[in-house]
Amino acid sequence: MELFVFIVAAGMILGGAVGVITRSHPVHAALSLILTLFGVAVLFVAQNANFLAAVQVIVYAGAIVVLFLFVIMLLGVDRAESLRIDPVKVQRPLAAIVGVGLLAFIGGAIIQGRDTIHKRGAGIDIASATTSHDSNIKQIANDLFSNHVFAFELTSVLLVIAAVGTVLLARRPGRSGAADSSVSAGSPSTTAGATDKAALR
Amino acid sequence: MIAAVAHPTTTWYLLLAAALFTIGVVGVLVRRNPLVLFMCIELMLNAVNLTFVALAKALGDIGGQTTVFFVMVVAAAEVVVGLGIIVSILRKRPQATADDLAELKG
């Protein structure tokens, strides 16, 4: 049963990943990405990472891919690019060589080092599937809010910076100039509102 | 008889993650649509997350799953900022590919 789940999920992951890099239409690539993300979520469940599987589905498949699709459709770049022509002649053979080399390198390292993976017992041990149904969340919370509190607080700062930076980046240029003098023009950020007010004075 | 077949060990998960990471690398090298390049970066991030979760189980340490949590947060922030940059570039030049974006000056 476990083997069956692994094979199906691996098929979803690899099929979706190949779809992302071979479909010429960006929307199809985004949908293939969803397939891969769901496969990864299935493997998270198979390894007792229930909380991360839920977060994977909600954040990745629910938010990030939807963001991709919004950008693709709102910008009107949903035209298929031709994959037949190869502008740089040696690019694809070189990429294939790099890919095979990288896979052999990482795979060799994994196979060579597989005997060195042992339980260390240094941290909080992962609950097995037979224990209480919310033990995984409790364990992550214990680790997160005891050993990684500072990093957790820093991520909130990071998210605020990202949100403000994106609003500034995606703002249409020239809005804060002299052309638009009305403050109530729906300025997307507080700084734009401030400059509008400065322009009024 | 079927049940006697080996069940997936940590090595299988790590090899699958390696394959996923390699596909992402090849995608970044081959594709030239900036949005698809971003999706390939997501593929690589997911491969790393899979590695973390597999090793968290194998080593018996919840710290790997906590790290995946942080990777997801940073990936979300990275996607938001990156898509903001792509939107502002594509608004000026709608058919821009990665080849046209050799310089940062707009």
What does the pLDDT look like over A70-118, one tens digit per residue? 888 887 766 766 666 666 778 888 889 999 999 999 999 999 988 888 7
- Nearest CA of chain B to the CA of A178: how many Å? 21
- Is B101 a member of any domain? no
B106 or B58, greater pLDDT: B58
Structurally, chain A folds into a number of domains equal to 2
Q: How distant, in Å, are the alpha carbons of A6, A181, B18 from that of A113?
A: 22, 65, 14
pLDDT band at A10 (very low <50, low <70, confident <90, very high): very high
Is A95 close to B29, i.e. CB distance below 8 A?
A: yes
Close Cβ partners of A90 (under 8 Å, ≥ 6 residues apart): none
Average pLDDT over residues B38-54: 94
- Is B24 a member of any domain? yes
Distance of CA A96 to the CA centre of its chain: 24
Pairwise CA distance, residues B35 & A55, whole Å: 23
Tell me, what's the ipTM? 0.88
Q: What is the pLDDT of residues A53-76, one digit of tens each?
A: 999 999 988 889 999 998 888 877
- Is B34 a member of any domain? yes
Is A123 close to B15, i.e. CB distance below 8 A?
A: no
By residue range, what is the domain housing residue A157? 148-201
Alpha-carbon radius of gyration of chain B: 18
pLDDT band at B9 (very low <50, low <70, confident <90, very high): confident
Asked if A158 and B73 touch (Cβ cutoff 8 Å), the reply is: yes
Here the CATH number for the domain that contains residue A29 is 1.20.120.1200
Here the CATH number for the domain that contains residue B54 is 1.10.287.3510
- Nearest CA of chain A to the CA of B82: how many Å? 8
Q: Which of A47, A161, A172 sits opposite B57 (nearest CB)?
A: A47
- Is A173 a member of any domain? yes
Asked if A77 and B90 touch (Cβ cutoff 8 Å), the reply is: yes
- Is A165 a member of any domain? yes
Structurally, chain B folds into a number of domains equal to 1
Which chain B residues have a beta carbon less than 8 Å from that of A136?
A: 65
pLDDT score of B4: 53
Of A79, A94, A116, which marks where a domain is finished? A79
- Is A119 a member of any domain? no
Of A79, A100, A133, which marks where a domain is finished? A79
- Is B102 a member of any domain? no
Q: How distant, in Å, are the alpha carbons of B23, B29, B58 from that of A28?
A: 17, 19, 35
- Nearest CA of chain B to the CA of A89: how many Å? 11
pLDDT score of B59: 86
pLDDT band at A127 (very low <50, low <70, confident <90, very high): low
Residue spans of alpha helices (H) in chain A: 2-22, 26-46, 50-55, 65-75, 91-112, 135-147, 149-170, 190-200
Q: Which of A20, A49, A162 sits opposite B43 (nearest CB)?
A: A20
Average pLDDT over residues B4-10: 73
| High-pLDDT (> 90) share of chain A, % | 40
Q: What is the pLDDT of residues A17-54, one digit of tens each?
A: 999 999 888 899 999 999 999 999 999 999 888 899 99
B101 or A180, greater pLDDT: B101
- Is B72 a member of any domain? yes
By residue range, what is the domain housing residue B57? 10-92
Q: Which of B3, B14, B79 sits opposite A67 (nearest CB)?
A: B79
Q: What is the mean pLDDT of chain A?
A: 80
3-state secondary structure (DSSP) of residue A87: coil
pLDDT band at B104 (very low <50, low <70, confident <90, very high): low
pLDDT band at A187 (very low <50, low <70, confident <90, very high): very low
- Is B99 a member of any domain? no
- Is A170 a member of any domain? yes
Q: How distant, in Å, are the alpha carbons of A100, B29, B46, B53 from that of A108?
A: 12, 22, 21, 20
- Give me the residues of A, 49-78, that contact B with CB < 8 A: 49, 51-52, 55-56, 59-60, 63-64, 67-68, 71-72, 75-77
Which chain A residues have a beta carbon less than 8 Å from that of B48?
A: none
Is B76 close to A56, i.e. CB distance below 8 A?
A: no
